[in-house]
């Protein structure tokens, strides 16, 4: 059958803006790791749907604020992560845990805000949730319950595995040239690894494409237009799932693995897919974890943030950073193969490009697509 | 006189063998190539039959796995009672007061300033320039065509690749890799990697 997705969904600025409003400013989005903001004054900055956000530790309390000073709109924290009080570098305004300007240098001499005005000045605060070691932020002033986006079993699985991440985290960002949706579509396509990764991951991991007749029957008809918000959120909850997806031809062990507390005891390739743009994997059965975060920048540009952690160390060992770098270079190869394909797909797209044809095995993507098209092209909201 | 033996593999074994053989009046150098198994462990039977008391030993291995494989081989030698030599090419220039540690290597045409400290297991390749009083910490790897400024401090296991220039007095953290040919004028935090295949530096947080 023909896909519901049209080339404009990957090319149009208008669609991209609508996605920001209807998806990225409504859903819970990955924002970083709790271990990176574990101490007083630790912070992470990021841009979420065009909004600069800072997550800051105030004596153990984590808060997410708009990372913009109320005085002259300077970004309060400028580094990607670090340890520094929430103070503007422009005129020295300091902010407290409630977002108020707790100290304005020379206030009485130069600013003289009336008390009522000063009391009302607050940084815009965003909802923040920790699921194990994973931080999620939501820009919506009235955010949906996180359990409306992810089912409890999936939350429990993310919590269990991420709680085992070590505190040493290696990270980088790739600037890619494809639409963010190609990322999750590729990850939900179990037939791509044998063709895209024959020289890398499928040498030792077997992925079997899903042929789910019940899913096929569910997603073939159009979405019932009379569905209410509860029913639509029930569909949304099914987009995210996790567990063992691939089996090993040979179980390979490395010396460093003796120094970490493995998550579980299953020799399998684990994937966690959290809609809309988060992918977590453990390619070695719980000894190490990678996070791939597809951050939309423009219709044809996505920043791909890559994180690597081993499972929690039993004891420090001198070459732990080198282990992470080896893992990072491994994903440069494997994810690099995915990126190359997705960038070629993006290059092939144009306004009159043919509508993609989908097979029966592509039910996971069809399930997302009919909901997405209904949301973006229709009048519904999440 | 002790017999001279180099244990190692690859280009580094060739380079060190050429340099040691060219030291005037030092006699023959025996090369022993070490094998690695599928799990990357060394076949340490390469040490069999060598008498630590009668052998001047040098370990020559490249920078793979953050210079930890070369260190692993060096430690295996020390555990067996070998005393490791330092190896400075007669075609290198060493300033007054420069110190070179055990199993450290300075290649042809390297220019090492006065009072430089080169700690154990460091490799300074031919053509590198190391400024006055710089410190190269243990197991660092400095490629040819690099300039390490005076009083700069290069951390243990760091890798400085061709074309990198470390400005005077700048500290490069432990385990960093300066793989992009550019000027490094500010401190680089430990384990930061500049790799031309990546769009942004690779950074490490926590520990």
Q: Any idea what the CATH number is for the domain that residue A47 is in?
A: 2.102.10.10
Residue A382, in any domain of the structure: no
Q: Are residues B161 and B199 located together in one domain of the fold?
A: yes
Is the alpha carbon torsion for A29, A35, A41, A44 positive or negative? negative
Boundary (domain end) residue, out of A113, A143, A173: A143
pLDDT band at residue A210 using 50, 70 and 90 as cut-offs: confident
Single pTM value for the model: 0.95
Q: Are residues B93 and B67 located together in one domain of the fold?
A: no
Radius of gyration of chain B (CA): 17
pLDDT tens sequence across B122-156 = 999 999 999 999 999 999 999 999 999 999 999 99
Set of chain B residues whose Cβ sits within 8 Å of the Cβ of A320:
207
Q: Are residues B183 and B114 located together in one domain of the fold?
A: yes
Q: Summarize the confidence of residues B179-190 as an average pLDDT.
A: 98
pLDDT at residue B24, rounded to an integer = 83
A82: domain range?
28-143
Q: Summarize the confidence of residues B191-200 as an average pLDDT.
A: 98
Residue B71 exposure: Cα atoms within 13 Å on the Cβ side: 19
Set of chain B residues whose Cβ sits within 8 Å of the Cβ of A172:
198-203
Q: Are residues B200 and B104 located together in one domain of the fold?
A: yes
Is the alpha carbon torsion for A117, A118, A120, A123 positive or negative? positive
Res. A357: pLDDT tops 80: yes
pLDDT at residue B177, rounded to an integer = 98
* CATH number of domain containing B10: 3.40.50
B20: domain range?
3-79
Boundary (domain end) residue, out of B79, B112, B140: B79
Q: Are residues B63 and B147 located together in one domain of the fold?
A: no
Res. B25: pLDDT tops 80: no
Q: Do B205 and A321 touch (CB under 8 A)?
A: no
Residue A164, in any domain of the structure: yes
Residue A56, in any domain of the structure: yes
Residue A371, in any domain of the structure: yes
Q: Are A344 and A1 in contact (CB under 8 A)?
A: no
Q: Are residues A82 and A178 located together in one domain of the fold?
A: no
pLDDT at residue A209, rounded to an integer = 87
Q: Are residues A80 and A167 located together in one domain of the fold?
A: no
Q: Are residues A241 and A357 located together in one domain of the fold?
A: yes
In A7-46, the residues whose Cβ lies within 8 Å of chain B are 35-36, 38
Q: Are residues A134 and A215 located together in one domain of the fold?
A: no
Q: Are residues B148 and B53 located together in one domain of the fold?
A: no
Boundary (domain end) residue, out of B56, B79, B102: B79
Q: Are residues B203 and B109 located together in one domain of the fold?
A: yes
pLDDT at residue B166, rounded to an integer = 98
* CATH number of domain containing B152: 2.160.10.10
Q: Are residues B194 and B110 located together in one domain of the fold?
A: yes
Res. B38: pLDDT tops 90: no
Who among B39, B200, B206 is closest to A173 (CB)? B200
Residue A103, in any domain of the structure: yes
Ranges A202-206, A276-280, A342-346, B156-160: which has the least confidence: A202-206
Q: Count Cβ atoms below 10 Å from residue A238 Cβ, excluding itself.
A: 16
pLDDT tens sequence across A137-166 = 999 999 999 999 999 999 999 999 999 999
Residue A1, in any domain of the structure: no
Going from the C-alpha of B128 to that of each of B123, B162, B179, the distances in angstroms are 10, 9, 15
What percentage of residues in chain B have a pLDDT greater than 90? Answer: 94
Q: Are residues A192 and A202 located together in one domain of the fold?
A: yes
Those residues with Cβ within 8 angstroms of residue A142's Cβ, 6 or more apart along the chain or in another chain: none
Q: Are residues A249 and A100 located together in one domain of the fold?
A: no
Count of the separate structural domains present in chain A: 2
pLDDT tens sequence across B90-124 = 999 999 999 999 999 999 999 999 999 999 999 99
Set of chain A residues whose Cβ sits within 8 Å of the Cβ of B203:
80, 170-172
Who among B65, B175, B200 is closest to A172 (CB)? B200
What percentage of residues in chain A have a pLDDT greater than 70? Answer: 100
* CATH number of domain containing A334: 3.90.380.10
- Secondary element (H or E) of residue B141: strand B141-142
pLDDT band at residue B202 using 50, 70 and 90 as cut-offs: very high
**d(C-alpha B115, C-alpha B134), whole Å:** 7
Set of chain B residues whose Cβ sits within 8 Å of the Cβ of A254:
39
Q: Are residues A235 and A175 located together in one domain of the fold?
A: yes
pLDDT tens sequence across A71-82 = 999 999 999 999
Place of tokens 């932020």: A137
Those residues with Cβ within 8 angstroms of residue A108's Cβ, 6 or more apart along the chain or in another chain: none
Helices and strands, counts by H and E, chain B: 2, 22
Q: Are residues B112 and B180 located together in one domain of the fold?
A: yes
Instruction: Locate the chain A residue with the closest alpha carbon to B199.
Output: A174
Q: Do A325 and B66 touch (CB under 8 A)?
A: yes
Q: Summarize the confidence of residues B15-24 as an average pLDDT.
A: 93
Q: Are residues A20 and A41 located together in one domain of the fold?
A: no
Q: Are residues A222 and A125 located together in one domain of the fold?
A: no
Count of the separate structural domains present in chain B: 2
Q: Are residues B66 and B141 located together in one domain of the fold?
A: no
Residue ranges of E strands in chain A: 29-33, 42-48, 51-58, 61-66, 81-83, 94-95, 101-103, 125-131, 134-138, 169-176, 205-207, 241-248, 269-274, 278-282, 288-298, 301-310
**d(C-alpha B179, C-alpha B163), whole Å:** 8
Boundary (domain end) residue, out of A95, A112, A143: A143
pLDDT band at residue B1 using 50, 70 and 90 as cut-offs: confident
Residue A257, in any domain of the structure: yes
pLDDT tens sequence across A92-120 = 999 999 999 999 999 999 999 999 999 99
**d(C-alpha B24, C-alpha A245), whole Å:** 63
- Mutation target among A35, A177, A321 for the B interface, most CBs of B within 10 A: A321
Boundary (domain end) residue, out of B47, B79, B111: B79
Boundary (domain end) residue, out of A101, A121, A143: A143
Going from the C-alpha of A47 to that of each of A51, A60, A80, A313, the distances in angstroms are 5, 23, 10, 31
Residue A305, in any domain of the structure: yes
Distance from the Cα of A146 to chain B's closest Cα (Å) equals 28
Ranges A209-218, A355-364, B80-89, B177-186: which has the least confidence: A209-218
Size of the A and B interface in Cβ pairs below 8 Å: 67
Query: Angle at CA A290, nearest 5°, toward A288 and A294?
Result: 175
Distance from the Cα of A324 to chain B's closest Cα (Å) equals 9
Q: Are residues A75 and A178 located together in one domain of the fold?
A: no
Q: Are residues A122 and A180 located together in one domain of the fold?
A: no
pLDDT at residue A16, rounded to an integer = 98
Q: Are residues A264 and A224 located together in one domain of the fold?
A: yes
């Amino acid at each position: 059958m023909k896909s519901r997705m049209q080339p404009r969904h990957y090319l149009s600025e208008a669609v991209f803006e609508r996605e920001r409003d209807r998806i990225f400013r409504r859903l819970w989005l990955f924002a970083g790791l709790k271990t990176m903001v574990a101490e007083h004054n630790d912070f992470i900055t990021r841009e979420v749907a065009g909004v600069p956000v800072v997550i800051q530790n105030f004596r153990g309390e984590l808060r997410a604020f708009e990372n913009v000073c109320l005085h002259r709109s300077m970004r309060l924290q400028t580094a990607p992560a670090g340890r520094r009080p929430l103070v503007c570098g422009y005129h020295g305004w300091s902010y407290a845990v409630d977002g108020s300007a707790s100290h304005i240098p020379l206030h009485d001499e130069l600013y003289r805000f009336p008390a009522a005005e000063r009391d009302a000045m607050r940084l815009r605060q965003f909802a923040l949730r920790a699921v194990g070691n994973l931080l999620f932020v939501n820009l919506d002033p009235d955010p949906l319950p996180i359990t409306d986006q992810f089912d409890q079993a999936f939350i429990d699985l993310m919590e269990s595995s991420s709680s085992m991440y070590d505190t040493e985290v290696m990270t980088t960002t790739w600037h890619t040239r494809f639409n963010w949706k190609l990322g999750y579509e590729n990850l939900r396509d179990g037939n791509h690894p044998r063709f895209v990764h024959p020289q890398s991951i499928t040498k030792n991991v077997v992925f079997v494409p899903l042929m789910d007749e019940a899913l096929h029957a569910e997603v073939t008809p159009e979405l019932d237009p009379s569905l209410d918000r509860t029913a639509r959120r029930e569909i949304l909850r099914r987009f995210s799932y996790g567990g063992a997806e691939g089996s090993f031809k040979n179980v390979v062990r490395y010396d460093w693995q003796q120094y970490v507390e493995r998550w579980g005891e299953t020799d399998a390739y684990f994937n966690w897919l959290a809609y809309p743009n988060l992918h977590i994997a453990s390619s070695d059965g719980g000894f190490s974890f990678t996070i791939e975060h597809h951050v939309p920048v423009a219709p044809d540009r996505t920043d791909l943030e890559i994180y690597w952690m081993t499972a929690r160390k039993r004891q420090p060992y001198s070459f732990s950073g080198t282990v992470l770098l080896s893992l990072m270079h491994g994903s440069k190869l494997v994810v690099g193969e995915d990126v190359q394909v997705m960038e070629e797909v993006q290059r092939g797209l144009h306004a009159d490009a043919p509508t993609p044809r989908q097979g029966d095995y592509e039910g996971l993507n069809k399930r997302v697509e009919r909901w997405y098209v209904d949301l973006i092209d229709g009048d519904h909201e999440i | 006189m002790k017999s001279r033996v180099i244990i190692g593999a690859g280009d580094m074994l060739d380079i060190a063998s050429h340099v040691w053989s060219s030291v005037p009046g030092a006699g023959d150098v025996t090369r022993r190539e070490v094998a690695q198994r599928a799990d990357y462990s060394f076949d340490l039977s390469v040490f069999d039959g060598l008498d630590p008391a009668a052998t001047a030993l040098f370990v020559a291995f490249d920078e793979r796995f953050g210079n930890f494989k070369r260190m692993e081989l060096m430690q295996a030698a020390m555990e067996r009672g070998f005393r490791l030599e330092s190896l400075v090419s007669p075609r290198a220039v060493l300033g007054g007061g420069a110190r070179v540690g055990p199993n450290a290597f300075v290649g042809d045409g390297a220019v090492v300033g006065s009072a430089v400290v080169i700690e154990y297991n460091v490799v300074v390749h031919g053509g590198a320039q190391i400024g006055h009083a710089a410190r190269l910490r243990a197991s660092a790897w400095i490629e040819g065509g690099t300039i390490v400024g005076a009083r700069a401090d290069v951390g243990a296991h760091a890798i400085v690749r061709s074309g990198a220039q470390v400005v005077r007095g700048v500290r490069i953290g432990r385990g960093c890799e300066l793989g992009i040919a550019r000027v490094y004028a500010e401190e680089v935090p430990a384990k930061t990697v500049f790799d031309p295949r990546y769009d942004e530096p690779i950074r490490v947080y926590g520990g």
